[in-house]
Homo-oligomer: A and B are copies of this chain.
Amino acid sequence: MTRLRIGIIGASGYSGIELTRILAQHPHVELALLTSDRWQGLTAAAKLGLSGPAASLEYQSPPTPALLTRADGSNRHWSTCDVIFLATSVEVSLALIPSLVEEIATVIDLSGAFRFPTAELFARAYGQPHSAPALLPTAVYGLPELDRKGLRGARLVANPGCYATAGALALAPLVSDDLCLPDSLVIDAASGVTGAGRKGTEELSFAEVDGDFRAYRVLRHQHTPEIAQTLSRLSPAVRSSGQSLRPSFTAHLLPLRRGILATAHARLRPSIGEEAVRAAFVHNYADEPFVRLLPTPDDVGLKQVLGSNRCHLSFAVDHDEAIVVASLDNLVKGAAGQAVQNLNAVMGWPETTGLDELRGFYP
């Protein structure tokens, strides 16, 4: 089989690095392009210690919108790629994707630029207008465990947010099986700092973050409407009532490099007990290779998922009170790993291709 030629734009950010490492060992692809605003001319071997064919690949300067719109034909390094991943900010993704989708068979965007179906919803979540609203209906939201049917052959995939993946996976069984009161959903989640990307600000300096723990963007986090949308799509109650779900979501910053833990709360409908909840988790996730249901919520931690594409979860029930705890690595299942899982789904390969071998990192 000819290997698919892959480009990564934003390859020196933390998600871009993880993506590079995973794809460098993926059996069906070949890394053809890495762009970076800081490592131009250096090799993947030098910066990441890669061996094998990707080792000698040199980082290129990132494509500019002018380059992409052919105003300048001098360095169209991306044009031979079959698939391009963007591990970039919303702003960069918005600037590049309209041109890229015209030339490249599949574009997988890790930013939040194409996660909502309308420009209005995007604007409400991100506080800025959307510059390519026509593309929005063409994008497929890629959280395979909850809906993989549109992914096969997709041209533009919106990779979910890290919190949105954890929060939605935690509550999806209760919501899709209609076991809980729609207005009772509360999610408190905490993430390591790499969720904020790679940057040098005093706020994210070691001296400030170490020893601290705090909530941020309280009641105005952009992942709140993303979780609401994902869960609403699954909810029979929403389908019958036309209302949407409004989970209360709060993000917290952990003094850690990696990992997300989400603690989700719901009030169960009358007479729904632990067995119904267990049945919902089992039938929703039994065949999912990356979701693992653990015996109790106390068993769910970050260390066992770090460096893997897994999501660990478990639940507890007391009367009408249900608590679900879910964990994942924000750079893998919350970003790069899920993006590769989406590539696999687009191509019709087993979703675990190139991901099952991730060995984790413990302790």
A48 sits at the interface (CB 8 A): yes
- Residues in B neighbouring A25, C-beta threshold 8 A: 357, 359
- Residues in B neighbouring A48, C-beta threshold 8 A: 360, 362
- Residues in B neighbouring A300, C-beta threshold 8 A: 214-215
A218 touches B323 (CB 8 A): yes
CB distance from A244 to the nearest CB of B (A): 14
A172 sits at the interface (CB 8 A): no
A254 touches B254 (CB 8 A): yes
CB distance from A292 to the nearest CB of B (A): 8
A49, A246, A310, A360 interface centre (most CB from chain B within 10 Å): A49
CB distance from A326 to the nearest CB of B (A): 10
Whole-angstrom CA separation of A358 from B24 in the bound complex: 11
A212 touches B248 (CB 8 A): no
CB distance from A183 to the nearest CB of B (A): 8
CB distance from A204 to the nearest CB of B (A): 5
A261 touches B213 (CB 8 A): yes
Whole-angstrom CA separation of A214 from B298 in the bound complex: 7
B206 touches A205 (CB 8 A): yes
A325 touches B206 (CB 8 A): no
A222 sits at the interface (CB 8 A): no
Instruction: Scan A189-226; emit 1 where CB is below 8 A from any B CB, else 0.
Output: 01001100011111111111111111111110000000
Q: Which of A76-84, A86-94, A125-133, A301-309 contacts B (4 or more CB under 8 A)?
A: A301-309
A296 sits at the interface (CB 8 A): yes
A51 sits at the interface (CB 8 A): yes
User: With A211-B257, A254-B254 as given contacts, are A325 and B263 in contact (CB-CB < 8 Å)?
Assistant: no
A200 touches B194 (CB 8 A): no
Whole-angstrom CA separation of A213 from B182 in the bound complex: 28
A259 sits at the interface (CB 8 A): yes
B318 touches A207 (CB 8 A): no
A215 touches B297 (CB 8 A): yes
A14 sits at the interface (CB 8 A): yes
- Residues in B neighbouring A219, C-beta threshold 8 A: 316-318, 321, 323
User: With A21-B360, A48-B360, A218-B298 as given contacts, are A261 and B252 in contact (CB-CB < 8 Å)?
Assistant: yes
Mark A residues whose CB is within 8 Å of B: 14, 17, 21-22, 24-25, 48-49, 51-52, 183, 186, 188, 190, 193-194, 198-219, 246, 248, 250, 252, 254-259, 261, 263, 265, 267, 289, 292, 296-298, 300-308, 310, 316-318, 321, 323, 325, 327, 352, 356-363
Q: A25-B359, A200-B200 are in contact. List 20 more A-B contacts (CB 8 A).
A: A49-B310, A190-B252, A194-B207, A194-B363, A204-B206, A205-B206, A206-B206, A207-B257, A208-B303, A210-B210, A210-B256, A210-B363, A212-B302, A216-B298, A218-B316, A218-B325, A254-B255, A258-B363, A357-B357, A358-B359
